[in-house]
Structure 1
């Protein structure tokens, strides 16, 4: 049986649908810290996969979280609602008991603690979310939940074990003698000593009777460093020594910017690390919480990145001889390695650094890489492809079946666009001119890349059908991305040109006749963009509330198949593409691909089909059924340059890194074919 990769950690959230108002916003806020921020695509986030389990109705139980990673951490939110229904008690008691499948109960109401008196959760330590101060609820949620990920996901804690046995050691680096850095360090230490955070963190102090330098270096080897940058910090010898020692030992570091007036020289080693800005004095509780959150998350990110890269190295994604770094490398850190090796290979986490930051590696004959990119493949003589993207959202189901949020599709489009554009392939996309739409995410990525790569032009083509391209707001939208997009307006097909009264007036799709005109224009646009493509990538896609004679992603798949285009099907991210992959594997279509289902779920669809049939342009669902049930996975795999096993992984994996890795692998193989 083909299975996706097994990353070090996956985090799952399970909650009762009636608790949505109480807990969902906290879950979604916390997820933003675990995954890459779609608003800051070049940020270095944790990149831990997250999965969501709930339902649309209290009558339905969520699915049980699957075992997907080496360590699965399941946050189970318990409340009056989970106590009231006996089926929830059964659900909880049937959750697997496994050292690598860790259930963390989170009581969002005091009554929820009653779950821990018997059954599966008996004697479990419970996170008491109802005790979190309302003013800092978000911050406490991030700290408490992150610490459980650290304990269970990285430190192999067992249910019932106390957090203090897996606390994070903090090293508070600061200037002495009454400096503001000393005051801030004392405030942080006082806060930890007088709150329940002391079981999360252990703040180091220098013990009397020890040699100063030896004890400092001994503490640093096992600590997360909080460097409190005051006006005098960078000029102090021991502060510099502490930073250099932390970099040498490859320890997680955060910088707390607490400058009062001026610093004449920022110590170079105190860079390439996360930075938190705080008020001057006194240090407020919210500032201390920000510092502790940054320290905890950077510690998790650091250890997780190392585990993840080592795992990818075992999978053959990166050079087996590469040195692993949890953050982008610095020349000071590589000096010793360069003395030992004639050629050095280095791998660090996504996303890649680009030209202006990495020019020095060529001088020293160093190959740098991330899991999805390597400088060894940057050759201008590689074949450049025109790659069409068919990516769109779908209607959410309350996480009953699809256990990822729709923002995963946006992360996928960003990551894929970044790597394809960086290798100077042309991206082709159709429509979707709206704020926060997929076109915007792709073009935002292109705009940043254009500056980072220092090139005059990146290649993104966006196809628009009539009447979308005559809308003034769409033209204004294009103007914002003039340097990175080539808009292509597709002509009205001849068979409907004569029934359009005025092609300069926008036509609303507000009746079956107008919807038919739209469907013909959209089909023509799709045919032209696909004909112009060398390769197609499909992900997501909705079955309802579309404009056209059938769901857009389905039509683009059928046209691509008919044109014998290589097609990458990304099934693990949900939507129509997921059900298409299931239908192909099972040789039996799901009900959504039938005309009966489409008629019952889309208003006026039967009228549209009748008009289209009179003009020989209707959707033929018998033909669709025959085509899907007779597709060969071997053929799909061979066309995109993958083995069948890899293609089947692509059809099921929920992990974005694996999706992008397999697409890039296939495109490189196609390039070798010429």
Structure 2
């Protein structure tokens, strides 16, 4: 007999960045990091794998997830079964020297999985990366590389959580959190919109009818959400629970709702005792 946690073998994508609304809400970057920490801590403890598409900045969210993955380190030599997978899109890693990527991968061995992708979203081996010239990516490379990574993440995850998110100074065709949320909606993947930090996540909640519009700001691609107004988020939560999740400033309340939804949504068989 072996024990399985409720979210064993489930991959949860997390999308976040600082929100332009945070100062007006009395929030700082530390509050967003605290929220990410709580999301990661609870989902990792329940056996889930967290999937993030970020760079390797020292103060970035990727490193925060790596620290938590080390705390909840899993007894496995299979990198695909580690607690965190971080995708490096083509325009992100092509700017870095291969030796830097080698060192980052070595530092994360046994803790988190680092996956490099080519411009079309296919896995790229670190050894292959040594044969590619480091360069500053063009705008078309940014757009295609990021979109390809997001399609890859969609195909390999069971649900997505979004919170915060900038709506300007982004790379690609539209804000990153918006594009990732759009792909989840199109695929009917369970989506959890944590809107208490404002930003792109709050805008998405308003655009799909979870919340009443407050002030409509324009950003590329916002109109693409119109067709999802009033549609189910397939996330195991009621309309009222989704409204609370999209509006509450209380992280603890949001975590309870996300975990409730993840355990009720159609993510496959639930945890328990198996022979």
> How much does 1:663 deviate?
0.6
Q: Secondary structure at the match of 2:111?
A: coil
CA distance in 2, matches of 1:440, 1:632: 35
Residue 542 of structure 1: aligned partner = 166
Q: Is contact 1:536-1:560 (8 Å) kept?
A: yes
Q: Cα 1:418–1:408, aligned 2, differ >3 Å: closer, same or farther?
A: same
Within 2, Cα distance between the matches of 1:634 and 1:533? 21
Q: Does 1:394 align with 2:19?
A: yes
Partner SS state of residue 537, structure 1 = strand
| Deviation string, structure 1 residues 299-329 (Cα, Å, up to 9, x no partner) | xxxxxxxxxxxxxxxxxxxxxxxxxxxxxxx
Contact 1:587 1:629 in 2 (8 A): no
Partner of 2:272: none
TM-score, normalised by the number of residues in structure 1: 0.35
SS of match in other structure, 1:390: strand
2:245 maps to: 650
CA distance in 2, matches of 1:406, 1:547: 21
State the distance in 2 between where 1:424 and 1:402 align: 33
Structure 2 CA distance for aligned equivalents of residues 573 and 459 of structure 1: 25
1:666 to 250, 261, 265: 261
Equivalent position SS for 1:487: strand
Contact map agreement 2:91 2:146 (CA 8 A) in 1: no
Pairwise mapping of residues 229-308 of structure 1 onto structure 2 (< 5 A)?
none
Q: How does 1:548-559 map to 2 (within 5 A)?
A: 548-559=172-183
Which residue number in structure 2 is paired with residue 586 of structure 1?
212
1:381: how far off?
A: 6.4
| Structure (1 or 2) with the larger CA radius of gyration | 1
Q: Where do 4+ consecutive residues of structure 1 move more than 6 Å?
A: none
Alignment of 1:409 onto 2:32: yes
Q: Does 2:58 correspond to 1:435? A: yes
TM-score by length of 2: 0.81
1:529 aligned counterpart, secondary structure: helix
Q: Is the 8 A contact 1:589 1:628 kept in 2?
A: no
Change (3 A) 1:393 1:479: farther
CA drift at 1:425: 0.9
Q: Deviations over 1:69-97 (max 9, x none)?
A: xxxxxxxxxxxxxxxxxxxxxxxxxxxxx
Distance 2:215 2:145 in 1: 27
Offset at residue 411 of structure 1 (A): 0.7
Deviation at 1:582, TM superposition (A): 2.7
Question: Within the alignment, does 1:560 sit opposite 2:180 as a pair?
Answer: no
Shift of 1:430: 0.5
Residue 422 (structure 1) aligned to one of 27, 45, 64: 45
Distance across 1 between alignment mates of 2:216 and 2:3: 44
Aligned match of 1:504: 132
Q: Which has the higher contact order (CA 8 A, sep 6+)?
A: 2
C-alpha displacement of 1:458: 3.3
Work out the CA distance in 1 between the residues paired with 2:21 and 2:241. Answer: 28
Do structure 1's residue 629 and structure 2's residue 231 form an aligned pair? no
CA distance in 2: counterparts of 1:672 and 1:405, whole angstroms: 33
User: Deviations 1:50-77 (Å, cap 9, x if unpaired)?
Assistant: xxxxxxxxxxxxxxxxxxxxxxxxxxxx
Q: Which residue number in structure 1 is paired with residue 124 of structure 2?
A: none
Q: Summarize the alignment of residues 22-421 of structure 1 with structure 2, pairs less than 5 Å apart.
A: 379-380=3-4, 382=6, 384=8, 385-395=10-20, 399=23, 401-421=24-44
1:479 aligns with 2:106: yes
Question: What is the distance in 2 between the residues matched to 1:407 and 1:381?
Answer: 30
Residue 532 of structure 1 corresponds to which residue in structure 2?
A: 156
The alpha carbon displacement at 1:542 in A equals 0.7
Q: How many residues are aligned here? A: 250
Conserved? CA contact 1:383–1:671, under 8 Å: no
Distance in 1 between residues matched to 2:113 and 2:160, nearest whole Å: 18
Q: CA deviation at 1:485?
A: 1.2
Q: Which residue of 2 aligns with 1:459?
A: 83
Q: Distance in 1 between matches of 2:131 and 2:212?
A: 45
Q: In structure 1, which of residues 574, 577, 599 is the aligned counterpart of residue 201 of structure 2?
A: 577
Contact 2:158 2:267 (C-alpha < 8 Å) held by counterparts: no
Q: Secondary structure at the match of 2:197?
A: coil
Q: Which runs of 5+ in 1 are unaligned?
A: 1-377, 495-501, 596-620
Contact 2:6 2:47 in 1 (8 A): no
In the alignment, which of 505, 513, 516 is matched to residue 140 of structure 2?
A: 516
Distance 2:28 2:136 in 1: 31
CA RMSD of aligned residues (A): 2.7
Contact 2:193 2:205 (C-alpha < 8 Å) held by counterparts? yes
